[in-house]
């Protein structure tokens, strides 16, 4: 649900930069248009600038240059409490001396709502997060998942324009994280609030987001829906950071409308989709997801092929990871479902691996930031 041509964005970052020492830019040039009700995730490694962008939007960090607009209103000079933004943190930030009801009531009390409205809203949001029976308990008497649901309800109860979430599930174990991902998406779909979500967890971002902005060194490398990021990464950084990618180095030999022919360093010729600028003679890297790489007998004579030597395999429950090595030492990984189709291979056995041209891309070997 990205901003469509002609639509007015609900939230805008325009040429936003941030430096702490007037020398090094932590955020180099951030541009992003967000539609009302959209779920946007800022994804990247630690120190990539994603949390800084969130803090500038919240008003907890000053903007060095550029503009941030919410519903057409410039907010960079407005105090945090005047921006009508809700926040959910990793450590919950609940008042320990207040009951759950009192925690939920607090944002409404400071906004001078009537007792009747507060009581009704607290009951409504306790039901919304399925904690009706816990209203008179204190935060220390709740589990981590329950406390995070209270924190989420408190961030939503006063109808903020935007909800900011900074690694909100980082303190939870894997199973609870997955449950809370579903819970947040359920509430988002039900209430339609706008979300800016920060995480370094790729799976979390792919599961929850309408669009993901991938950061590296203060620059957005690509901003796109999850399936586009995964299937058509803009460069090698995105291909590696979102999921896993096999990489084969080579040189472009021919350029077509949608595909290029690449002469691999081991001498083989393959046909793949083109992604970045592509010129004959240009060095490139062919990127293939492990689940798209398979054994030759699965594709017959269709697609591209490369010879590789089997090294080892790892059992990962629902699938098996097969590790191979090509003649020039390039490592390749094949993911195969753990079923009757899983082959039995001998160590050092040499076989052909295959993939379809549309399942691979020729990418620049250097990062190339994309417009957000």
Could you give the count of Cα atoms lying within 13 Å of 70 in the half-sphere of its Cβ?
21
Q: Considering only 12-16, 193-197, 295-299, which range has the smallest mean pLDDT?
A: 295-299
Q: Are strands 25-34 and 11-19 parallel, antiparallel or unpaired?
A: antiparallel
Residue 371: pLDDT band with limits 50, 70, 90: very low
pLDDT at 372: 44
Q: With 70 as the cut, is the pLDDT of residue 66 above it?
A: yes
How many angstroms separate the first and last alpha carbons of the chain?
Answer: 15
Please state the rounded mean pLDDT for residues 144-173: 90
Long-range pairs for 244-247 at CB < 8 Å and ≥24 separation?
A: 244/289, 244/290, 244/333, 245/287, 245/288, 245/289, 245/290, 246/287, 246/288, 246/289, 246/290, 246/293, 246/332, 246/333, 247/285, 247/286, 247/287, 247/330
Q: Considering only 68-82, 108-122, 219-233, 353-367, which range has the smallest mean pLDDT?
A: 353-367
pLDDT at 273: 94
Please state the rounded mean pLDDT for residues 96-116: 95
Rounded to the nearest integer, the mean pLDDT of the chain is 90
Q: Are strands 360-363 and 269-274 parallel, antiparallel or unpaired?
A: parallel
Supply the DSSP string of 118-175, one letter for each residue. HHHHHHHHHHHTT-GGGTTS-GGGS-HHHHHHHHHHHHHTT--SEEEEESTTTTS-HH
The Cα–Cα gap between 236 and 287 comes to: 8
| 271 alpha-carbon distance from chain centroid | 29
Residue 357 φ then ψ, to 5°: -55, -40
Q: Are 84 and 161 in contact (CB under 8 A)?
A: yes
Please state the rounded mean pLDDT for residues 50-66: 95
Q: Are 145 and 179 in contact (CB under 8 A)?
A: yes
> Over the stretch 196-222, which tens digit does the pLDDT of each residue have?
999 988 999 999 999 999 999 889 999
> Over the stretch 284-318, which tens digit does the pLDDT of each residue have?
999 999 999 998 766 666 789 999 999 999 998 88
Exposed, middle or buried: residue 258 (CB in 10 Å: 0-12, 13-18, 19+)? Answer: exposed
Q: Considering only 57-61, 122-126, 336-340, which range has the smallest mean pLDDT?
A: 336-340
Domains of the chain and any CATH numbers: 11-236 (3.40.50.300), 245-363 (2.40.50.140)
Q: What separation in angstroms does the CA of 222 have from each of 38, 63, 215, 240?
A: 17, 22, 8, 13
Residue 358 φ then ψ, to 5°: -75, -5
Q: Are 42 and 195 in contact (CB under 8 A)?
A: no
The Cα–Cα gap between 240 and 230 comes to: 10
Question: What tokens does 157 get?
Answer: 């109860």
Q: Considering only 5-14, 60-69, 278-287, which range has the smallest mean pLDDT?
A: 5-14
Please state the rounded mean pLDDT for residues 327-353: 89
Is pTM beyond 0.85 here?
A: yes
Q: With 90 as the cut, is the pLDDT of residue 61 above it?
A: yes
Q: Which residue has the higher pLDDT, 368 or 81?
A: 81
Question: What tokens does 114 get?
Answer: 């009537």
Q: Are strands 65-70 and 259-264 parallel, antiparallel or unpaired?
A: unpaired
Kindly give the residue spans of alpha helices, DSSP state H, lying in the chain.
50-58, 100-109, 115-128, 144-156, 174-191, 202-208, 226-231, 236-241, 296-299
The Cα–Cα gap between 103 and 90 comes to: 17
């Amino acid at each position: 649900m990205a901003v469509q041509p002609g639509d007015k964005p609900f939230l805008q970052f325009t040429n936003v930069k941030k430096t702490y020492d007037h020398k090094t830019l932590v955020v180099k040039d951030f541009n992003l248009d967000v539609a009302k009700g959209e779920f946007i995730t800022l994804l990247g490694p630690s120190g990539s600038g994603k949390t800084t962008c969130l803090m500038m939007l919240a008003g907890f960090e000053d903007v060095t240059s550029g503009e941030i607009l919410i519903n057409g209103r410039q907010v960079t000079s407005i105090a945090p409490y005047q921006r009508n933004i809700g926040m959910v943190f990793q450590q919950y930030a609940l008042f320990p001396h207040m009951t759950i009801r009192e925690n939920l009531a607090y944002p409404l009390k400071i906004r001078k709502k009537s007792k009747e409205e507060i009581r009704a809203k607290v009951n409504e949001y306790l039901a919304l997060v399925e904690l009706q029976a816990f209203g008179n308990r204190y935060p220390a008497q709740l589990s981590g998942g329950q406390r995070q649901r209270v924190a989420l309800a408190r961030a939503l109860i006063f109808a903020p324009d935007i909800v900011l979430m900074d690694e909100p599930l980082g303190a939870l174990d894997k199973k609870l994280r997955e449950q809370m991902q579903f819970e947040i998406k359920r509430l988002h779909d039900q209430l339609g609030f706008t979300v800016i979500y920060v995480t370094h967890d790729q799976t979390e971002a792919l599961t929850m987001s309408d669009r993901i902005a991938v950061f590296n060194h203060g620059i957005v490398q690509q901003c796109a829906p999850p399936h586009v990021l995964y299937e058509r990464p803009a460069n090698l950084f995105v291909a590696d950071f979102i999921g896993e990618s096999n990489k084969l180095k080579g040189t472009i030999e021919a350029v077509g409308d949608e595909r290029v022919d690449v002469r691999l360093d081991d001498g083989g010729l393959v046909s793949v989709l083109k992604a970045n600028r592509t010129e004959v003679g240009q060095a490139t890297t062919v990127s293939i997801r492990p689940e798209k790489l398979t054994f030759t007998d699965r594709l017959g004579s269709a697609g591209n092929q490369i010879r590789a030597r089997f090294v080892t395999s790892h059992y990962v429950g629902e699938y098996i990871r097969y590790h191979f090595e090509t003649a020039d030492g390039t490592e390749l990984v094949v993911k195969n479902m753990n079923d009757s189709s899983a082959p039995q291979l001998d160590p050092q056995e040499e076989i052909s691996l295959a993939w379809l041209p549309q399942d691979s891309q020729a990418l620049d070997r250097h990062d190339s930031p994309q417009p957000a």
